[in-house]
Structure 1
Amino acid sequence: MVKQIEGEDVKKSRFKGFLFVVVVPLVSAGALALVVLSLLGINIFESAKGLGSKLPVISQYVNGDDSSTAKEEEQKVISLEAEIKNKEAKLEQLQSQLKNKDSEIERLNLEKKQLEEQTEELTAIQTENKRAFKDIVNTYETISGKKAAPIITKLKDEEALKILTNIKAENLADILESMSPQDAAKYTEMLTNESN
């Protein structure tokens, strides 16, 4: 065990000797050289940086070319600003399209409202016309066939046919009986064609 302790002491003393003989003088000389060079106005750090940027592995860690990095950053900024302007222009274009679509929707809604009003108006007119026509048919049903026959023969064929198709069968027979045989045959044929 004593031999083991003596072996360790020998290793420690060799390490201490190496420190005092090699490392301490090198560090002292380096510090002294740094002080002397800085007093002479030589910036050792800039020189080391320039030298380090030339070495392949160290150049990755040393920022020797700040101007190229600044130029790259400036190019990135310009590129991003251009991209922002493009996006803003596209946004304005989309907003304009949206405005146009909104105005078109508003116009179509107005047109739809007008068409609905026209439809309601036409429906009301149609209802009124149906009611008026029904009143006309009722009138022909209430007057005698002798009085209705000459009036119907004076009407246009389409109007006469429309009235005759809506009159009750008994009133129709009375009106046809009161017509001349040619007119009665003509309207009978028209009624037959209409029912087919």
Structure 2
Amino acid sequence: MSPIAVIDFETTGLSPAMGDRATEVAIVMLEGGRVVDRFQSLMNAGVRIPSFITQLTGITNAMLASAPDAAQVMADASRFVGDAPMVAHNASFDRKFWVAELQRLGLPAPQPYACTLLVSRRLYPQAPNHKLGSLVDFHRLPRAGAAHRALADAEMAAALLGQIQRDLRARHGVARPDHALLMTLQRCAKPAVSALMAKYAAACTGQ
């Protein structure tokens, strides 16, 4: 299957429309379900981090003072991703910052985003909740470093994506659980998931 870029941002708040900026980005590149490369950097956007965000993430204003400029980091991140489609947990959040930070540089952000949170809600309704850490524990996947740091969260989202793809193969008979299927599945009404999976499985077997 084609490469997939799994991304996570840490930020100063919830919305770039309210003036919030990215403080850290991490991207895990997958090919055939295997990690083939990683990108991670703090970034200095010239804004202060609220104290409650520092308490959540551990990222301090002093750390950002010596971090590379946000424009350089995002230009490098854009080159790293290239044309690869993207995945994130709660992707609407990360996509907003991806688009906003690249728009500041006049760079396009055409990559389609699949969301492991939305897909998990459809595939794992029995999970206690659909937070990233809870799903990692539900599937007994390894935790990667401290939560609410970009690389740790991107690694865990990548591991969750791998679990989703394995389950689509083993439980639903989908030979190629690619990014396009994830996009279709996340938009599917929950009562229609079984029919959608049967359709894809039949297509895989040529029936």
Shorter-chain TM range is under 0.3
TM (norm. structure 1) is 0.20
Give the structure, 1 or 2, with the largest relative contact order (CA under 8 Å, sep 6 or more).
2
**Bigger Rg over Cα:** 1
TM (norm. structure 2) is 0.19
Structure with higher helix content: 1
Structure with higher strand content: 2
